[in-house]
Chain A
Amino acid sequence: MDNEPNIIAFCCHYCAFTAADLAGTMRQQYPPNLRIVRLPCSGKVDVNLILQAFVEGADGVMVAGCEIGSCHFIEGNKRAVKRVAYAKKLVEEAGVNPARLEMFHIAASQGPLFARTAHEFTEYIKKLDAEAAEVPLATAAVDGESA
């Protein structure tokens, strides 16, 4: 089994996406596990989008918007914070560790911060995967039976 986690990063066009671009321009490495989905604003992120990412196999989901106070659409990032909090509750009810979903604030000029955040989040998800593999989950038991 491929044990590299899949991470979906919903990034705001005006900040985190630009920061990701800048990280590239600055030749800052960040893990290839990340798949970036560009949104016009982090406030565009919807709980359905987040849930769907997990349903389709994401091991971690990042939502990255501007710093509080500097949203291009004034309040979009604050809305994203609330949606991520609600989505955490929804995924937890469905048995997914809510720590696999996180909101970040990264300004357009912070290429290195983007790279570091991507790196740290990926490592964190790998750690959660390793811990989950140790604990005999219901899924593991069922897989064992059907094998």
Chain B
Amino acid sequence: MIVAERKPFEEIYECVKRHRKVLLLGCGTCVTVCMAGGEKEVNVLANQLALAARDRGDDVEVMEHTITRQCDDEFFDEATMKKVAEVDAVVSMGCGVGVQFCAAKFGDTAIYPGLNTKFYGATLEQGVWAERCAGCGECVLGDFGGVCPVARCSKSLLNGPCGGSADGKCEVDPENVDCAWQLIYDRMERLGRLEELEENRPMKDWSTNRDGGPRTVTREDVKL
């Protein structure tokens, strides 16, 4: 899923206070799971904004609404569009994709991001999410025992490890980051495939990654 984090309150308040009536729009998919921008988080922010506006004497009316997904046309139903039409601005609590989708849909209504979008990650335990994929466009997990060298090695090395690997930790942040290459080695060892790591890997074709410009995936067979 896409993992995000609520923006600092002041940053959101600075945007909201420019307007009279604001809609906080939550997203019911990834950011609900990572507890950043779902119905509940929309409610927390609405309460915080109400308290702050009262304390500072600002006149801002805040409405709350959450849709299933902000990156899919079909969820922007009539009720949602009606609510948007009533306000001067929308704070999207979706990931960066949701914010941009809203911006394109809502035409002349101001839109602000309520979250900082972080990465594609997994839930390690409730309250802890970690990066696992960088969307490089050409997955090499099969060659590395199911551990991603692009997203999980701090230097995205395909011929690792570097000299900074010590006690299974990465030199970039030995407290918090496991060395991906240690994980790759351990896993390949378990699979009895260590000798494959002896091969030098040629440079990865990064044109499938962001280096080739913004990407689009098209499936002619399912298009309507």
**Which positions in A face B, CB cutoff 8 Å?**
47-48, 51-52, 54-55, 90-91, 93-96, 137-139, 141-143
**Which positions in B face A, CB cutoff 8 Å?**
8-10, 40, 43-44, 47-52, 54-57
Contacting B10 at CB < 8 Å: which of A48, A51, A93, A142? A93
Q: When the two chains form their complex, are residues A54 and B55 in contact, meaning their CB atoms are under 8 A apart?
A: no
Contacting A138 at CB < 8 Å: which of B43, B44, B57? B57
Q: When the two chains form their complex, are residues A93 and B9 in contact, meaning their CB atoms are under 8 A apart?
A: yes
Assuming the contacts A93-B9, A94-B9, asked whether A142 and B57 have C-beta atoms less than 8 A apart, the reply is yes
Contacting A48 at CB < 8 Å: which of B47, B52, B56? B47
Q: When the two chains form their complex, are residues B52 and A94 in contact, meaning their CB atoms are under 8 A apart?
A: yes
B50 — which chain A residues lie within 8 A by C-beta? 55
Q: When the two chains form their complex, are residues A141 and B48 in contact, meaning their CB atoms are under 8 A apart?
A: no
Contacting B48 at CB < 8 Å: which of A93, A138, A139, A143? A93
User: Which chain B residue lies CB-closest to A140?
Assistant: B57
User: Which chain A residue lies CB-closest to B127?
Assistant: A82
**DSSP class of B's interface residues: helix, strand, loop or mixed?**
helix
Assuming the contacts A48-B40, A93-B9, A93-B10, asked whether A139 and B47 have C-beta atoms less than 8 A apart, the reply is no
**DSSP class of A's interface residues: helix, strand, loop or mixed?**
helix
User: Which chain B residue lies CB-closest to A54?
Assistant: B51
- 13 cross-chain CB contacts under 8 A: A55-B51, A91-B51, A93-B8, A93-B48, A94-B55, A95-B51, A95-B52, A96-B55, A137-B55, A138-B55, A139-B57, A142-B56, A142-B57
User: Which chain B residue lies CB-closest to A57?
Assistant: B54
With both chains docked as a complex, state the minimum distance between the C-beta of B73 and any C-beta of chain A, in angstroms: 30
User: Which chain A residue lies CB-closest to B50?
Assistant: A55
User: Which chain B residue lies CB-closest to A87?
Assistant: B44
B49 — which chain A residues lie within 8 A by C-beta? 94
With both chains docked as a complex, state the minimum distance between the C-beta of A137 and any C-beta of chain B, in angstroms: 7
